[in-house]
Structure 1
Amino acid sequence: MEHIANSVEDAMAKKYGLAVGQSEPEEESYDENSLFDIALNPTGDDGSSFRMQNDPAAPYQRKNVTERKGAIDIRCTCLDVIHGLLAPDNYEDRATLIVLKFNFDSRKRARRIASAKISLQFSSEDPGNGDPEVYRIAPFESLAMVPTTSLEEKAQWADFKLGAPPFAGFQAGTELGWERTVISEITDATRIIGTMDLRGRNYGEPNGVSWTLLENETQRTGVPTVLRTAFLLKRRNDAKFRCTVKLDVNVDFRSKLERMIGGKPKDDPVLFDPDMDPTNRLEAYDILNLEAVDLERISGITLVKYYDGAVKHI
């Protein structure tokens, strides 16, 4: 990998005081709307069968994974793709850092996204090279956000018949009873669960990752509008690999759940080439020590955004 070799040369020069002339790389501008536009339509909607393909002239790390428009838009943007080494003292373990941002937007007031599941699967283009291993992800495991407490009031009816003891002998069949009100305290929250998974096989290290987003069911607030994920892949070599993306979303439309299905992937997988230069859109990463990157710091969750500058005084 040429960019890794250059970094090794720079590191050696700094260590031994050698002067290496190197111009500053031109900073790449970041367009957050440039990659992974995913919008799901109800099954059978016009445009739901639209398929994105890899550009024959530039097939690797393509920007648009899929483009489908509807009442629910799901947009995924690739913020960074960094190929390098897992640790500076280990040239055997290659690594790739990928940062994705998902946006979940409803274009109609009556609709909200009640839950969403994102599934990614990584595999080598050549099966003989082995699949990349999902080494670390963020967000990871189960997270609860903005817990709420509410009171639920239920009426319960207890009855008995006069014909039963101690009123034996009465045959009127009259039912007596009383009603009582039970008040329960319910705690709920918006939840996100991140896991590293085995996909397509039941052996070896995880080759997939998934995130499940669940709304606060009591408050019906919908899933977070923005989810930024970060994950580190461990590779055995510099072989090219691919990623298959699947989404399954449930939408509440006027109190009626309408299932939004990503279904089996209709789009070409996203292809990755470890020989490509790092994007460094969010920050400059140390490609010789990707294991040191704090994934929790660069990941994030946003429930909703408010714009405070809407009122102007003249």
Structure 2
Amino acid sequence: MAEVSNNDLVQTEEEYEDDDGDDDVFDIMLNPGGDEGSSFRTRNDPSAPYQRTNVTERKGALDIRCTCLDVIHGLVSPDAEEFATIIVLNFRFDSRKTARRILAVNITLQFAPEQPGGPEPEVFRIAPYDSMVMVQTTQTEEKTTMAGVSLGAPPLAGVELGAELGWERSVNRETTDATKVIGSIDLLGRTYGNADSASWSLIENSTTKTGVPSTMRTAILLKRQDEEPFRCNFKIEAKVDPKSSMEKSFQRLFGGRPKDDPLLFDPQLPPTNKLQTYDLTALGSVDLSSLSGVTFQTVLDSAVKHI
């Protein structure tokens, strides 16, 4: 069972816009009855516990899910004595109702040996990495300032006669906004050693209010010191619009805190090779950016048919 369980944390739009930290984030628990054995919990198959495909799945007015697409174990390079693993994960964030959206998502993956005390995997490279923008928008704002002096006669029969003299100043400025994607390699739970975690943040364009991208595919390259099994504890945080956070069906689905099983990995398992065929002796040379990507929306061009 995961020591760091998958918690979907939800924050309303008003709190999100006024948020200066994490104080206003509140838990949306995913178990409707508080029973840890609920069907909303994602578990490892007892007969085949390693490298499950369905990482997590939360369905409702807003869907949040993660799928493991590829797991490849091998070496960093032919002349190196370091072991390596490439993991490709696909995240989806979908709205099933009009005007429902996810404002921001934070994803954290932390790797550790399956048995405590063993050498920890190192998060060596990830993709997407660094801070990126997409769907950038520009708008013009006009600000008008007025100043004046009132000249008037003393009141006469309850009536004040006067005139206002002054000036008006208008200032135009262009502002830009964009959807943001941020990826980082982190060190969690300790202040020494190599990085053991990867994290991504998706933040909507606050001007257009179109939500976060619908799909993000991430790739991770781990360095390992041995061939022993290891695990990944994950956490997903979401900030949603007020209507979604208040909707009864959403509260029912996101009404408890399940402890999803961690992802377990066994370096002895063969490569999945779903996306491509990898050179198992040179995983360090794989271009992770070719395995990753962010999609805002998918358009079906062939939707119109002529008979």
Q: Which residue of 2 aligns with 1:135?
A: 124
Of residues 195, 203, 212, the one that matches 2:192 is 203
1:89 deviates by 0.8
Distance, in Å, in 2 between the alignment partners of 1:277 and 1:112 is 39
Determine if the alignment matches structure 1 residue 75 to structure 2 residue 68: no
Aligned twin of 2:176: 187
Gaps in structure 1 of 5+ consecutive residues: 1-37, 163-173
CA distance in 2, matches of 1:39, 1:224: 20
Which residue of 221, 225, 234 maps to 1:236?
225
2:68 partner amino acid? C
Q: CA deviation at 1:68?
A: 2.7
Match in the other structure for 2:272: 279
Is the CA contact 2:182–2:202 (under 8 Å) kept in the aligned structure 1?
yes
2:299 is the counterpart of 1:306:
yes
Instruction: Say yes or no: does 1:64 pair with 2:64.
Output: no
* 1:218-229 matches, cutoff 5 A: 218-229=207-218
Does residue 1:148 correspond to 2:137, yes or no? Answer: yes
Using the aligned pairs only, state the percent identity.
56
- Structure 2, gaps ≥5 residues long: 1-5, 11-27, 35-39, 152-162
Q: Distance in 2 between matches of 1:87 and 1:44?
A: 43
Q: TM-score, normalised by structure 2?
A: 0.78
Higher alpha-carbon deviation: 259-268 or 183-192? 259-268
CA contact (8 A) 1:99 1:228 kept: yes
Q: CA deviation at 1:178?
A: 5.1
Instruction: Measure how far apart 1:60 and its partner are.
Output: 0.9
CA RMSD of aligned residues (A): 3.2
Q: Deviations over 1:201-259 (max 9, x none)?
A: 11111000000011111121211111111110000001110001111111124699999
CA deviation map 1:151-170 (0-9, x unaligned):
123343446788xxxxxxxx
Conserved? CA contact 1:39–1:75, under 8 Å: no
SS at match of 1:309: helix
Paired amino acid for 1:279:
T
* Other-structure match for 2:92: 103
The CA deviation at 1:191 is 1.1
Q: Could you give the per-residue CA deviations for residues 41-79 of structure 1, whole angstroms, max 9, x where no partner exists? A: 962676485322222211111233333322111121211
Q: CA deviation at 1:263?
A: 9.4
- 2:283 alignment partner, one of 263, 271, 290: 290
SS in 1 for 2:231: strand
- Return the alpha-carbon distance in structure 2 between the equivalents of residues 245 and 95 of structure 1: 20
- Greater shift after overlay, 280-289 or 120-129? 120-129
Matches within 5 A, 1:36-55: 43=28, 47=32, 50-55=40-45
CA distance in 2, matches of 1:150, 1:156: 20
Cα distance in structure 2, aligned partners of 1:198 and 1:66: 23
CA distance in 2, matches of 1:264, 1:176: 64
The answer (yes or no) to whether the contact 1:116–1:248 under 8 Å persists in 2 is yes
- Letter matched to residue 79 of structure 1: L
Instruction: Report deviation, 1:94.
Output: 0.3
Looking at structure 1, the residues matched to 7 and 54 of structure 2 have their Cα atoms a distance apart, in angstroms, of: 12
Alignment partners' CA distance in 1, 2:170 and 2:58: 49
1: CA distance between counterparts of 2:107 and 2:54? 17
Counterpart in 1 of 2:238? 249
Question: 1:139 touches 1:296 (CA, 8 Å); kept in 2?
Answer: yes
Give 1:177 shift. Answer: 5.8
Query: With CA pairs under 8 Å and 6+ residues apart, which has the higher RCO, 1 or 2?
Result: 2
CA shift digits 1:126-172 (9 cap, x unpaired): 2322210001001100111132111123343446788xxxxxxxxxx
**Alpha carbons 2:150, 2:164 under 8 Å: kept:** yes
Q: Secondary structure at the residue paired with 2:76?
A: strand
Could you tell me the TM-score, scaled by structure 1's length? Answer: 0.76
Question: Which consecutive segments of 4 or more residues in structure 1 shift more than 6 A?
Answer: 255-265
Contact kept? 1:95, 1:290, Cα under 8 Å: yes
